[in-house]
Each structure stands twice: as structure tokens, then as C-alpha cells.
Amino acid sequence: MLTLALNKGRILDEVLPLLAQAGLDPLEDPRRSRKLIFETRHPELRLFVVRSGDVPTCVAHGAADWGITGKDTLLEDGGQGYYEPLDLGLSRCRLMTAGDPTFVPVPGQRLRVATKFVKVAQRYFNDRGVQIDVIPLGGAMELAPLIGLADLIVDIVDTGNTLRANGLAPLELIEHVSARVIVNKASMKQHQTRLGPMLAALEAALPEAAEQGVGP
């Protein structure tokens, strides 16, 4: 059996119809079950659902042959131990810096940046020669500039409504984000004859999914 690791949340909601069109969907809805591993309509595939950050870990270490998660997760993970062969185009959003639109940093100023994307933030500002102190936060990122905890935040931006409601604005684009397929490097070589057709079926389902309104 090959194993697919799926991301909980919005990506799972948008990927399940696509898997159904590709003949790879689970026999029961993982969102309504307490089971951990699910058989699928494909006789050689099973799947499990984990938190976003655990998908690349499971794939890189061979606990899953392939997985589906957001590009933001992959950027933070660093991309070791797996290939990224397919962009599903689902769950589109942007990874951006954001903050008070009137904030103007002094040249050479060391910035305080609140984010859960610690590695992404460090790379992004380092590449621009800007020194930062990263303040790790797990949620409610918009609060950080409002209470003086940080000068800027790095976070996922969809509509930007929450930022605007709090007097903040998206500032600089770091990366366009969408759901991506990743494949364990060893599995790609050892199971190509079985894994290849599954990936092809998923890719072939993409135009049909777009016509039926799957995804944003």
C-alpha cells in the first residue's frame, strides 16, 4: 500500500473533491471520523490526516509516500527529503509582511517581526540586509503591532479584511501560496509504476475541478 498524508483544514476540504474525481478518495469522510488511517477507492492507496507542519515531516521520513500541504508549510520546512512535482492551485493565498501602513523604519533599524513562519521571516529579511528579532506567535498575529509587541508581522493573507479591520495593511509579498503535492524521494524511485498513475490522475482531474468550482 502507498500512503498519502493530507493537511487538515481548508486544504482537506478542497482536496477531497479532487481526490474523488481522480478515484483516490477515502471510503469514509476523515472529517467525521475518529479513525487515523483511511482506506480509499484505489486498492493500493490509503491516507491519513495530520497538521500542516507534519505533512512534510511524514513524507521526508518515509512514513507517507506522498502528501498534500500548503506552499507556506513547505517554505518553513525547508524542502529536504522530498520532491514537489505538482501545484494543485487550490487554497490560494499570499504569504506577506503586514503592519501599520504609516510605519516607516529608520535605516539600519532592527525590526521586531511576529510570525509563526520563523525560518521564512529570517530568510526574507536577511536576503534584504535587514536585521530582525523574530517573535514566535501561533495566532492572532494582527494583535502584535497593535499592542507594541512587534513592528511587523509575517502571515498568510487571503482577503486582507482582518488586517484592515485592525488598521493594518498587507505590505510586501513573500510568496504566492497554494496546495502542493510532495513525494518522498525514495518512493518516487521505488514505486514510480504505481505512484506515477496516481499523480497523473490527480493532475488530469484539475481542469474538471476548476469547471465544477473546486477551490477558490
The pLDDT tens digits for 94-104 are 999 999 999 98
> What pLDDT, on the 0 to 100 scale, is given for residue 108?
86
Query: By the 8 A CB rule, do 125 and 174 touch?
Result: no
Can you list the domains of the chain with their CATH numbers?
Answer: 2-91+178-211 (3.40.190.10), 93-176 (3.40.190.10)
Scanning the structure block, which residue is given the C-alpha cell 496546495?
179
> What pLDDT, on the 0 to 100 scale, is given for residue 83?
97
> What pLDDT, on the 0 to 100 scale, is given for residue 210?
46
Scanning the structure block, which residue is given the C-alpha cell 495530520?
50
> Interior CA angle at 176 toward 149 and 91, to 5°?
95
> What pLDDT, on the 0 to 100 scale, is given for residue 48?
97
C-alpha dist (Å) from residue 185 to 16, 37, 90: 24, 22, 23
Q: Could you give the angle at which helices 10-21 and 192-211 cross, rounded to 10 degrees?
A: 100
Report the Cα 23 to chain-centroid distance in Å.
23
Q: What is the pLDDT of residues 205-216, one digit of tens each?
A: 996 544 444 433
Scanning the structure block, which residue is given the C-alpha cell 488511517?
37
> What pLDDT, on the 0 to 100 scale, is given for residue 213?
41
Whole-number Å distance between alpha carbons of 94 and 126? 20
Which ranges of the chain have pLDDT less than 50? 209-216
